[in-house]
Amino acid sequence: MNAHASPQGPTGEGPLRHLRVLDLTQFLSGPYATQILGDLGADIIKVETPDGDMTRVLPPHFVGPDSAYYLSVNRNKRSLAVDMKTQEGRDLVRDLALASDVVIENFRPGVIERLGLSFADLSASKPELIWCSISGFGQDGPYRDRPAYDMIVQAMSGGMSLTGETDGHAVRSGIPLGDLAAGMYGVIGILAALSDRDRTGKGRCVDIAMLDCQISMLSYQAAYYLASGHAPGRQGRGHDSIPTYRSFTCGDGADVVITANTERMWKALCEVLGRPDLAEDERFRVNQLRYRNRQALWEIIEAIFATRPAAVWVEALVAAEIPAAAVNTLDRSLNDQQVLYRNMVLQLAGRDGEVLRVAGNPVKFVGEPEIEHRFPPRLGDDEDLVFSELLKLSPERIGALRESGVIGRRVTAAQQGQKEVRA
């Protein structure tokens, strides 16, 4: 436990409230990881350049001065603007790291070492420090120095080759799986290192590669190839093993997905479809036969689904205890009664009256209220408090650092251009 840790969020709750995390990340994978830790109560100190995280100015949507993209993954944090190109700036970040339990960064490999802020150097002064690096390809290997973004690792992993219609082009996932998976695996690694530190008193360096995470998530598709030597193709609307795990188009043009995975569900599906005879048809009697004759089965089911609207089918299928759902657009999913009941759409209030609605925290603790979440910080908002609280700097020293440009935000050409566009 860090001796200087202070509870974050207005309620000071959450199981990680005793931890301080120094966040040296930007864009998506790293900020997503630190937001998860902040949602769980950790004190997240986000260090940005004086220009700010580049996502602050990403169009098209803004709430106040910052983009919806930035705001979606930076709640429950405090923000500092530090110029790490200066020695004084690097010294400040080093001192902040030594006052923290965890440091997380997503620079390209080698950058943090050139700044003189490596795990090896800092852990020599603080052996209990936990470090997490997130990069495209990891800290070693032949691709170590390549740049990478979400779609690059989706493509390289083979996951993108599985997505799309069977006779169409490969399609990236609409959700940025490469970034988000790396963030989640980063949190898993950090929590494992924290657990081990409780036992040994020693920290660890967690090395997360986005490509590794995507390979891991190939799951049974990887096993299918490794067992057979045959690379699965695009999955289209269905599943490689279960023919009644698929989407079908209904009479109103909307799609419904069904996952009739068991023999009981298959028989119940036949009843709902008004074709109980299909359950005894020799072509479809068990899953192996249904799989062998899946094209004929799909044609029969598709024709029946076309006779009624999606809502009618979903109601009948759910009543028969067959997992089913309409393929929602986001306007429907984010207003769904279950989603709202579980507090999965958060409304946050900014200091200047801004109202921000974002996706919520999925980690719930039974019998405990959720913590009150903090609006994502403006660039450099917390400099005076953090530098005085953690590093014991005087107001005069903080003012001098700001005057010299070592700390404090500056308006970039992109930010100025965004202001002009919005005006």
Catalytic residue among 179, 207, 212, 381: 179
Based on the residue annotation, tell me whether 179 is a catalytic residue of this protein. yes
First to last CA, the chain: 47
Q: Which amino acid is at 228?
A: S
Q: Residue 119 burial (CB < 10 Å; 0-12/13-18/19+)?
A: buried
Q: Is 110 left (phi over 0), alpha (psi -120 to 50) or beta?
A: left
- Maximum pairwise Cα distance, the chain: 85
Residues 6+ apart with CB under 8 A from 237: 165, 246, 247, 248
Q: Which residues of 292-331 are buried (b: 16+ CB within 10 A; e: fewer)?
A: eebeebbeebeebbeeeebeebbebbeeeebebbbeeeee
Catalytically active residues are 179
